[in-house]
Amino acid sequence: MKAFNKKIFIKQISDNVKNMYRKNLEEASQEELFQAVADAVKNMIMDDWIATQQVMEKDEPKTVYYLSMEFLLGRALGNNLINMTAYAQVKEALEEIGLDLNTIEQQEPDPALGNGGLGRLAACFLDSLASLGYPAYGCGIRYRYGMFKQQIVEGFQVEVPDNWLKNGYPFEMKRPEYCYEVRFGGHVRMEMREDGNMDFIHEDYQAVNAVAYDLPIVGYNNHVVDTLIIWDAQPEVEFSLTSFNEGQYHKAVEESNLARTLVEVLYPNDEHIQGKELRLKQQYFFVSASIQRAIAKYKKHHRSLKQLPKKVVFQMNDTHPTVAVAELMRILIDVEGLSWDEAWKITTQCVAYTNHTIMAEALEKWPIDIFERILPRVYQIVDEINRRFVLDIMDRYPGNEDKIRSMAILYDGQVRMANLAIAAGFSVNGVARLHTEILKNESLKDFYEMFPEKFNNKTNGITQRRFLAHGNPLLADFVTKYCGKGWETDLQKTRKLIAKADDPKVQKEFMEIKRENKKRLAKYILEKTGIEVNVDSIFDVHVKRLHEYKRQLMNILHVMYLYNRLKDNPDMDFVPRTFIFGAKAAAGYRNAKNTIKLINNVADVINHDVSIGGKIKVVFIEDYKVSNAEWIYAAADVSEQISTASKEASGTGNMKFMLNGALTIGTMDGANVEMFEEVGEENMFIFGLSAQEVIGFERNHNYRPGDIYNNDPDVNRVLNQLIDGTYSHGDYELFRSLYNYFLNDRPDNPADRYFILADFRSYIQTQEKVAAYYRNRSAWAKSAIMNVACVGKFSSDRTIQEYVDDIWHLEKIKVRTSLF
Ligand code: CR1
């Protein structure tokens, strides 16, 4: 970025408004002003972006291609300014012409090209890659509609399409020169070549063009601007240009329909995959385009493909892009003319796989007939990879059918994408230590035994630039005051707070900041929901995707329990609490949607009961997304991380709360385990079954929630309240399926499969400790400060450095703009 010049900047904004809208500043709407400001900011990024690309062109450093179906970016304007270290100057410049940067930022739609943790992790990783100065491309899909907007209507979730491109997105750049053909369907004909080898000729296919759109990923204060490529689909032959031949006409119409539907919408399912044809097409589409672009770039410098692994690594973000294995093989063999063995050698050195979940519903499997019909040539290659792999298994474990049953890629009429990724990938990583151990010892045990050298752990992280510098400016200033500058690129620097955590003055300052942030959120809550909350109550926050294993249901049952107690003893000593929820449910996920309805109905009853004097409030924040999440984390006192142990691979919200000085109540699951190690038991509230205990129950089928229901009167009472009309205006049926969840035992769906009742008593007791602790303001403040002080490990900068050291082996690039 060139040195910031206020006058030029202001001039550019009024020029932009004039040229884009034929208006002057006074006439422009906030949205138009956002477009004008964003364009000016893009302009400021441009020199660095060009310079970064030039360095990459000239030095040809090894580059990671992070292949991900999801990038949950959140708004770019404020974040780009933070990373350019120009936020304060731009804010000031805008004030001079009577504009408020905050208001302008809020005009930006959240580019919500992801569901939850997996997509947001990808976005944090890009931020860290650029900030550490590593050459990287994110590769994804330019969905016309991102994650749906959630409206709450009479307590129910209603999904509304998110047309984020409606007004044009100012940070994207169309790159028509990067255009690749991607083929679907048709047949493969084999032809003998003169040299005796086979040619595989793909015929009668439908083709679409993948066209690149680039988004800048601005590194923090280092002039590095990496690129996120999102692929759009366009028809190859325009409908109107087709010949009169009937076959051509149909093909043209079909191809333009395919192009339109291909990138139409993000599948809004988190950790639950339905084998939909269109999803497989989306996957192949963006993977094929990305690999073609990587190879085209490589070939500008090389004639032989042999050095590809020295220049390129593809990181496959979950099973979604693992068709990359076969697509790379296809290109190397069919297009580049390599032998199978040469191609396999290269491919297996270029692809690495990250697993994000042990939930069976999330591991992608495709029916062979669908896969073969949509990707006939790719299927042949998968079939051959499988044939050779099964021979390897038999070689290693003669006569052991079980090994083939668990590891073969093609089995039981299905293509198992995780198995393909592990067979081919040179690295397989989990996302927190406990998760990786479960992969090695339970879910991927056989693979681990066969390929121990492939397995490694990379505990997730988050970017402090967005979730502290941008989301919580008051706390950011506090950290700078006591730790100095530099935490933006080295989060370990917050450790200096340890020495201050006991200081009453510092504690008071911290608590005042927290209170300001609670006020900011309270105002938002009032505007959006009409509910007034008490900023001196505990803000107890549970925000994440709605999923049974994340146990929002346990949280709301606990609220019902507390309310019962207050009703029974109106004078009891009670620390006022505001329970805040935010969560989107997959559109077809019944229990998840019912849980949202239950939360809203409980909120309705409790918030309107004047007899409890406002001691409990329940708030469901509509449309939880990256932009409001930043405010929510900043305002939290208590962070709910209460998944069934073993099920949450890592969690990343947990880290964002910690960074913002909330105290966690959580199970020993995912990265909570490592947070506990870092922050110490005095500063975190742990409860519930361990992962080993949960796995033990699952293996032995000896968990009996019905016994708890029968023997624990508190449990009995709240469960009965689901079906006695207390929270449903007398309707006994509305929440019956939630009630049944606890007690209906079926072999395929055991009662209370997420062990809510097993953990309920321990959750109640631990929540009592939380309340008691909150009364001790000084102790609470100290623990909160200790959370900020000990969060360093959970920066995504640390995570990315580990990926670089152990998996990608990249060198940093240095970018200097001409001006410096
Ligand atoms: C996990 O459930 C983890 C993120 C990012 C999710 C969550 O615990 O923090 O990935 N998994 O690693 C997922 O979305 C498809 O799987």
CA of 98 to the centre of ligand 1 (A): 43
Residue at a domain's end among 458, 489, 515: 458
Domain presence at residue 349: no
Nearest to 585 by CA among 539, 561, 619, 620: 620
Instruction: Read off the pLDDT of residues 310-352 as tens digits, 9 standing for 90 and up.
Output: 999 999 999 999 999 999 999 999 999 999 999 999 999 999 9
- Span 496-501, mean pLDDT? 98
Please, what is the Cα angle at 35 between 34 and 41, to 5 degrees?
85
Residue whose CA lies nearest to ligand 1 atom number 14:
118
Of the residues 251, 544, 577, 753, only one is catalytic, namely 544
CA of 273 to the centre of ligand 1 (A): 13
d(CA 301, CA 255): 34
Q: Which helix (H) or strand (E) holds 618?
A: strand 616-620
Phi-psi region of 478 (alpha: psi -120 to 50; beta: other; left: phi over 0): alpha
Pairing of strands 112-113, 71-72: antiparallel
Residues 752, 773 share a domain? yes
CA of 357 to the centre of ligand 1 (A): 6
Please give the torsion angle defined by the CA atoms of residues 623, 734, 714 and 762, in that order, rounded to the nearest 10 degrees: -40
Residues 505, 411 share a domain? no
Judge whether 635 and 539 are in contact, CB under 8 Å.
Answer: yes
Q: 3-state DSSP: the chain helix, strand, coil percent, rounded to 5?
A: 50, 15, 30
d(CA 426, CA 372): 26
Instruction: Name the amino acid, one letter, at 512.
Output: E
Residues 650, 536 share a domain? yes
Q: What's the token pair of residue 254?
A: 């079909």
d(CA 440, CA 449): 8
d(CA 113, CA 354): 19
Q: Give the pLDDT score at 680.
A: 98
Task: Give the ligand 1 atom nearest the CA of 354.
Answer: 12
Residue at a domain's end among 428, 458, 488: 458
CA of 379 to the centre of ligand 1 (A): 28
Backbone angles phi, psi at 200, to 5 degrees: -110, 115
Classify residue 64 by its DSSP letter.
E
Nearest to 645 by CA among 614, 615, 629, 666: 666
Domain presence at residue 328: no
Instruction: Name the amino acid, one letter, at 504.
Output: P
State the burial class of residue 496 (Cβ atoms within 10 Å of its Cβ: 0-12, 13-18, 19+).
middle
Q: What's the token pair of residue 178?
A: 């990067």
Sign for the CA dihedral angle at 417, 422, 424, 430 comes to positive
Instruction: Read off the pLDDT of residues 709-763 as tens digits, 9 standing for 90 and up.
Output: 999 999 999 999 999 999 999 999 999 999 999 999 999 999 999 999 999 999 9
Range of the domain at 434: 357-458
Largest CA distance in the chain: 93
Judge whether 3 and 819 are in contact, CB under 8 Å.
Answer: yes
Percent of the chain with pLDDT over 90: 95
Residue whose CA lies nearest to ligand 1 atom number 5:
118
SS3 736: helix
- Span 74-78, mean pLDDT? 98
- Span 30-49, mean pLDDT? 97
CA of 587 to the centre of ligand 1 (A): 19
Judge whether 626 and 152 are in contact, CB under 8 Å.
Answer: no
d(CA 573, CA 590): 38
Residues 502, 431 share a domain? no
Q: Calculate the alpha carbon distances from 340 to 247, 332, 334, 347, 507 in Å.
A: 36, 9, 10, 10, 65
Task: Give the ligand 1 atom nearest the CA of 318.
Answer: 15
- Kindly tell me if the per-residue pLDDT of 90 is higher than 80: yes
- Kindly tell me if the per-residue pLDDT of 1 is higher than 90: no
CA of 688 to the centre of ligand 1 (A): 21
Nearest to 106 by CA among 75, 85, 73, 151: 75
Of the residues 652, 664, 667, 799, only one is catalytic, namely 652
Residue 304 CA to its chain's centroid (Å): 37
Q: Calculate the alpha carbon distances from 560 to 568, 570, 718 in Å.
A: 12, 15, 6
- HEC secondary structure over 674-717: HHHHHHCHHHCEECCCCHHHHHHHHHHCCCCHHHHHHHCHHHHH
CB atoms within 10 A of CB 787: 27
Q: Which helix (H) or strand (E) holds 67?
A: strand 63-67
What b/e readout covers 500-538, taking b as 16+ CB neighbours within 10 angstroms?
Answer: bbebeebbebbbebbeebbebbbeebeeebebebebebb
Residue whose CA lies nearest to ligand 1 atom number 7:
651
What does 345-414 look like in DSSP terms, one character per residue? HHHHHHEEEE-----GGGS-EEEHHHHHHH-HHHHHHHHHHHHHHHHHHHHHSTT-HHHHHHH-SEETTE
SS3 185: coil
CA of 3 to the centre of ligand 1 (A): 40
Task: Give the ligand 1 atom nearest the CA of 651.
Answer: 9
Judge whether 663 and 683 are in contact, CB under 8 Å.
Answer: yes
- Span 119-142, mean pLDDT? 98
**Beta strand spans in 423-554 (E):** 428-430, 455-457, 538-543
CA of 612 to the centre of ligand 1 (A): 39
Instruction: Read off the pLDDT of residues 363-403 as tens digits, 9 standing for 90 and up.
Output: 899 999 999 999 999 999 999 999 999 999 999 999 999 99
The count of structural domains within the chain is 3
CA of 398 to the centre of ligand 1 (A): 36
Residues 588, 670 share a domain? yes
Please give the torsion angle defined by the CA atoms of residues 37, 42, 48 and 49, in that order, rounded to the nearest 10 degrees: 170
Of the residues 120, 142, 365, 550, only one is catalytic, namely 550
Task: Give the ligand 1 atom nearest the CA of 648.
Answer: 8
Residues 33, 97 share a domain? yes
**Does the annotation mark 769 as catalytic?**
no
**Does the annotation mark 356 as catalytic?**
yes
Residue 2 pLDDT level (bands cut at 50, 70, 90):
low
Judge whether 583 and 545 are in contact, CB under 8 Å.
Answer: yes
> Tokens 């499988």 map to which residue?
386
Residue whose CA lies nearest to ligand 1 atom number 11:
356
d(CA 373, CA 171): 38
Task: Give the ligand 1 atom nearest the CA of 435.
Answer: 8
Q: The domain that contains 653 carries what CATH number?
A: 3.40.50.2000
Task: Give the ligand 1 atom nearest the CA of 431.
Answer: 12
Residue whose CA lies nearest to ligand 1 atom number 15:
271
Higher pLDDT, 539 or 817: 539
Residues 398, 543 share a domain? no
Pairing of strands 225-235, 351-354: unpaired
Mutate to test the pocket of ligand 1, among 266, 319, 356 (most ligand atoms within 8 A of CB): 356
**Does the annotation mark 544 as catalytic?**
yes
Mean per-residue pLDDT over the chain, rounded: 97
d(CA 638, CA 625): 19
Residue whose CA lies nearest to ligand 1 atom number 9:
651
CA of 656 to the centre of ligand 1 (A): 15
Q: Which residues pair with 616 in a beta bridge?
A: 577
Domain presence at residue 818: no
Domain presence at residue 607: yes
Helices marked H in 569-618 — which ranges?
590-607
Instruction: Name the amino acid, one letter, at 219.
Output: G
Residue 820 pLDDT level (bands cut at 50, 70, 90):
very low
Task: Give the ligand 1 atom nearest the CA of 460.
Answer: 12
d(CA 820, CA 814): 13
Judge whether 792 and 495 are in contact, CB under 8 Å.
Answer: yes
Residues 388, 304 share a domain? no
Mutate to test the pocket of ligand 1, among 357, 550, 655 (most ligand atoms within 8 A of CB): 357
**Does the annotation mark 550 as catalytic?**
yes
Residues 130, 11 share a domain? yes
Domain presence at residue 560: yes
- Span 131-143, mean pLDDT? 98
Of the residues 120, 142, 466, 545, only one is catalytic, namely 545
Domain presence at residue 725: yes
Sheet of 616-620, strands arranged across = 616-620, 577-582, 538-543, 638-641, 663-666, 685-686
- Span 503-519, mean pLDDT? 98
d(CA 589, CA 390): 37
d(CA 788, CA 660): 6
Q: Calculate the alpha carbon distances from 611 to 557, 571, 599, 772 in Å.
A: 20, 11, 20, 23
pTM (2 d.p.): 0.98
Residues 529, 431 share a domain? no
Q: Which helix (H) or strand (E) holds 460?
A: none
Task: Give the ligand 1 atom nearest the CA of 116.
Answer: 14
Instruction: Read off the pLDDT of residues 44-61 as tens digits, 9 standing for 90 and up.
Output: 999 999 999 999 999 999
Residue at a domain's end among 439, 458, 477: 458
Backbone angles phi, psi at 337, to 5 degrees: 75, 20
Instruction: Read off the pLDDT of residues 219-271 as tens digits, 9 standing for 90 and up.
Output: 999 999 999 999 999 998 765 555 567 777 888 889 999 999 999 999 999 99
Instruction: Name the amino acid, one letter, at 798.
Output: R
d(CA 393, CA 349): 20
Judge whether 378 and 413 are in contact, CB under 8 Å.
Answer: no
d(CA 189, CA 212): 31
Q: Give the pLDDT score at 244.
A: 60
Task: Give the ligand 1 atom nearest the CA of 271.
Answer: 15
Please, what is the Cα angle at 209 between 203 and 214, to 5 degrees?
150
Domain presence at residue 62: yes
Residues 262, 316 share a domain? yes
CB atoms within 10 A of CB 817: 14
Judge whether 351 and 287 are in contact, CB under 8 Å.
Answer: no
Domain presence at residue 351: no
- HEC secondary structure over 202-247: EECCEEEEEEEEEEEEECCCCCCEEEEEEEEEEECCCHHHCCCCHH
Instruction: Name the amino acid, one letter, at 717.
Output: R
CA of 177 to the centre of ligand 1 (A): 35
Mutate to test the pocket of ligand 1, among 650, 652, 673, 802 (most ligand atoms within 8 A of CB): 650
Residues 644, 758 share a domain? yes
- The set of protein residues with a Cβ atom below 6 angstroms from ligand 1 is 117-118, 121, 270-271, 318, 356-357, 362, 431, 460, 648-652, 670
Q: Give the pLDDT score at 117.
A: 98
CA of 117 to the centre of ligand 1 (A): 5
Of the residues 356, 435, 458, 793, only one is catalytic, namely 356
d(CA 605, CA 728): 9
ipTM above threshold 0.95: yes
Pairing of strands 538-543, 577-582: parallel
Q: Which residues pair with 192 in a beta bridge?
A: 198
CA of 670 to the centre of ligand 1 (A): 10
Instruction: Read off the pLDDT of residues 151-210 as tens digits, 9 standing for 90 and up.
Output: 999 999 999 999 999 999 999 999 999 999 999 999 999 999 888 888 999 999 999 999
Of the residues 183, 320, 551, 656, only one is catalytic, namely 656
